[in-house]
Amino acid sequence: MTAVRVADDDRLEDAFNVRRRVFVEEQGVDEELEYDEHEDEAVHFVAYEDDDEQPIGAARLREPEDSVGKVERVAVLESHRGTGVGRALMDALEAAAASNDLETLKLHAQTRAAGFYDELGYERYGEEFEEAGIPHVAMEKSLE
């Protein structure tokens, strides 16, 4: 399995396809909410199975504030959850963030996935809230 930074339209479409399958088809998120005005400014990542180049995961990184990046749209196909795909995506995303001198990453984790981010060193803050009809918690991690 390989996680890479998206560098062309084909790989971006692969990332969008994973997100569509996970968020829109599986979780019932409105497609109007899933794809937003930040797609062009974000740095996208996609994970592939090595043997057949099938996209199996995706994520994006935005830099909305000085030295703080926002991790968004982390998705892994249900058939590949628990196999290290999410960790590989986050490793690639965090490496890109660190190389761009970001000091902190923030994210809104689906509450059911917060334990995954806990294991990666993210810390919860604030109360649980709803986003796209799904319970979430805010989390952050220092890259310093």
Model confidence pLDDT, tens digit, residues 57-87 = 999 999 877 889 999 999 999 999 999 999 9
Asked if residue 128 belongs to a domain, the reply is no
Which residue range forms the structural domain that includes residue 73?
2-105
CB-side exposure of 120: number of CA atoms within 13 Å? 26
Residue 119: its H or E element: helix 114-119
- What's the structural domain count of the chain? 1
**According to the model, what pLDDT value does residue 133 have?**
92
Q: Name the pLDDT band for 94 (thresholds 50, 70, 90).
A: very high
Residue 104: its H or E element: strand 104-110
User: What does the longest C-alpha to C-alpha distance in the chain come to?
Assistant: 42
Asked if residue 131 belongs to a domain, the reply is no
Closest CA relative to residue 46, chosen from 7, 81, 99 = 7
Asked if residue 142 belongs to a domain, the reply is no
61: CATH? 3.40.630.30
**According to the model, what pLDDT value does residue 65 have?**
73
Model confidence pLDDT, tens digit, residues 15-57 = 999 999 999 999 999 998 899 999 999 999 999 998 668 999 9
